[in-house]
Structure 1
Amino acid sequence: MTGTTVHLAVYDTFADWEPGFATAQLTRHGHTVRTVGLTTAPVTTMGGLRVRPDLALGVLRPEDSGLLLLSGASLWDTGGTLAPFARAARAFLDAGVPVAAICGATAGLAREGLLDDRAHTSAVSHYLAATGYAGGGHYVDADAVTDAPGPSRGALVTAGPTEPVAFAREILGLLGVYEAKKLDAWFRLFHDSDASAYEVLEG
């Protein structure tokens, strides 16, 4: 899949390092990454960078996107400010369009009920349990998890806050950026600093 537009949600305090491995490779391989905020007003990342969203959430349509990417942020755990993004994730999944969530964004999806019947992961199981969600039985202790698409729902990628490379691996595999052998090499290079993987990746 090339030429797809991927939408990266941006909001105050979002963890700017978490989506970077994925968005860099997607852009390098012909995808367009557009940022979407609650409004088009600038936001400030956890790292202090100011980002002006390309579009407001209210005009985002699943049919115009190949993926909705949700990063962690302090705001996911301090009230309902980011709940509209979780509702947008529901609309995407219902439309058969994939969603990828890492770190605190997984808690947002849990509160929205989107993890109740799907394989998923996060920082630790009790972090999600604190949301009161009903999906504890589907929690997987892994660096990142992709719950495959069904007849009427999109694929869902989840990861914990320490796994941005594994998170990217799942996204890149889902969108067909690399075939399996090169995807494994990419992961070994960036996650494990395995120099031998470079030859495979560039071959």
Structure 2
Amino acid sequence: MKGIVHHAVYDTLADWETGHATAHLRNGRYMREPGGYEIVTVGPTTDPIVTMGGLRITPDLALEELSPADSALLILPGADLWDAGAELAPFARKAGEFLDAGVPVAAICGATAGLAREGLLDDRDHTSAVVQYLEAQAGYAGSKHYLDRDAVLGGDLVTAGPTEPVAFAREIFRRLDVYRPEVLDAWFRLFSRSDATAYEVLMAA
């Protein structure tokens, strides 16, 4: 294994947003070097959570146990709870610790709003569902860094809107530098557009 990718889990987690990233990071297929990443789930506590789709997940560790020094990446999925109050704010603060330590963070959908409220998007290129969604968040002052793209890699931060799980994974792979450029392009073409010509490139990898 190349290291540990930490995946935040909490009630109402949007099931569809991170599966492409975690599955391919774990299996290691098409990567420059053999071996994948261990995926470790992190909850508010180690009590089970229930996703938006009704799946029950028991976290591997509690958020208070998580250190950037032990991680290659922190993934923050969307969830209804991001827009329902401050319950998930500790995850956004932990993301700030990761970024301060130079460890990448990947946030999608509502998690981008959580980062916006922490001021973590104010000086980094980023995206979300729409810029107006972020402008509605108290503490956000990053409009000039907002990019209207499917997903954005801004230094150590990956962001995407809720309809872009494949592009989200693409930028995670780009930040971790796990695929050669032509393989990353082929992976995206296959999983986003069902481009059959991309399969040949992946098989050659």
**What TM-score results when the alignment is normalised by the length of structure 2?**
0.94
Specify the alignment match of 1:24 in structure 2.
Answer: 23
Instruction: Write the distance in 1 (CA, Å) between the matches of 2:82 and 2:67.
Output: 22
The residue type equivalent to 1:145 in the other structure is V
Q: Aligned pair 1:101/2:107, yes or no?
A: yes
Specify every segment of 5 or more residues in structure 2 that has no aligned partner in the other structure, as ranges: 29-35
- SS of 1:84's partner is helix
Instruction: Write the distance in 1 (CA, Å) between the matches of 2:17 and 2:178.
Output: 18
> Which runs of structure 1 show a deviation greater than 3 angstroms over 4 or more consecutive aligned residues?
none
Specify the alignment match of 2:145 in structure 1.
Answer: 138
Specify the alignment match of 1:43 in structure 2.
Answer: 49
**For 1:163-182, what aligned pairs fall within 5 Å after superposition?**
163-182=164-183
- SS of 1:190's partner is helix
Give the total of aligned pairs: 196
1:88, CA displacement in angstroms? 0.2
Specify the alignment match of 1:122 in structure 2.
Answer: 128
Specify every segment of 5 or more residues in structure 1 that has no aligned partner in the other structure, as ranges: 149-154
Instruction: Write the distance in 2 (CA, Å) between the matches of 1:165 and 1:189.
Output: 10
Deviations 1:8-60 (A, max 9, x none): 00000000110100000000111000000000000000010000000000010
The residue type equivalent to 1:50 in the other structure is R
The residue type equivalent to 2:144 in the other structure is G
Q: Aligned pair 1:89/2:95, yes or no?
A: yes
Deviations 1:35-90 (A, max 9, x none): 00000000000010000000000010000000000000000001000000000000
Specify the alignment match of 1:61 in structure 2.
Answer: 67
**What TM-score results when the alignment is normalised by the length of structure 1?**
0.95
The residue type equivalent to 2:130 in the other structure is V
The residue type equivalent to 2:110 in the other structure is G
Instruction: Write the distance in 2 (CA, Å) between the matches of 1:98 and 1:139.
Output: 18
Deviations 1:138-192 (A, max 9, x none): 10000000012xxxxxx00000000000000001111122110000000000001
Instruction: Write the distance in 1 (CA, Å) between the matches of 2:118 and 2:191.
Output: 33
Specify the alignment match of 2:14 in structure 1.
Answer: 15
- SS of 1:145's partner is strand
The percent of aligned pairs where both chains have the same amino acid is: 68
Specify the alignment match of 1:152 in structure 2.
Answer: none
